[in-house]
Amino acid sequence: MESRKFGYVRVSAKDQNENRQVESMLEIGIENRDIFVDKQSGKNFERENYQLMKRMMRKGDTLYIHSLDRFGRNKEYILNEWKELTKVIGADIVVLDMPLLDTTKHKDSIGTFISDLILQVLSWIAEDERERIRKRQREGIDSALTNGVRFGRPSIEITDEFIQAYDKWHAGEITAVKAMEKADMRKTSFYKMVKVYKELL
């Protein structure tokens, strides 16, 4: 059976645009039907379209990703997933913005060692960036809860319920309507608070 090229695209939320990543896949000759897109967090690999693509992959196939942080954000998960795809399934991986992470070119022991080293470093950077984002988010939340964030009249306070609902909505896990229910807010108030909250992040 002829080997296939797969493209994997991930954006963090439903309102983010995946076109740039998709176009980079089409430019290198990947067919549209073989490009899989997920709109959710990169904290783990429990993503519907990624898992579907993975089940379709066979030995000799090649997976293209735009950058390592589009693949995932957790160092341990990235390394385990990389190993499973390359060692268990027998597929190759090409990271388009990092030529050293191209398993189709580095088959000798030195090349493999360099690729593994680069992967370790970059996956650590991806996870570190995610942790720094979460830290900034937490600092903004704590400041808002301590000082009280007011928006117009009547005042609106950022609550833990809003934060939890927002995070799930932003990650694509629930709809905006469901988030409003969880936060116990009306539509207008919810979107006003989203605007305020984003400025804190």
Question: Which residues sit opposite 9 in a β-bridge?
Answer: 37
C-alpha to C-alpha distance for 190 and 181, rounded to whole angstroms: 10
Structure tokens given for 192: 């006003």
How many alpha carbons lie under 13 Å from residue 151 in its C-beta half-sphere? 15
Determine whether 12 is an active site residue: yes
Amino acid (one-letter) located at 157:
E
| Catalytic residue from among 12, 24, 41, 115 | 12
Q: Which of 142, 145, 6, 24 is nearest to 85 (CA)?
A: 6
C-alpha to C-alpha distance for 93 and 65, rounded to whole angstroms: 8
**Residues with catalytic annotation?**
12
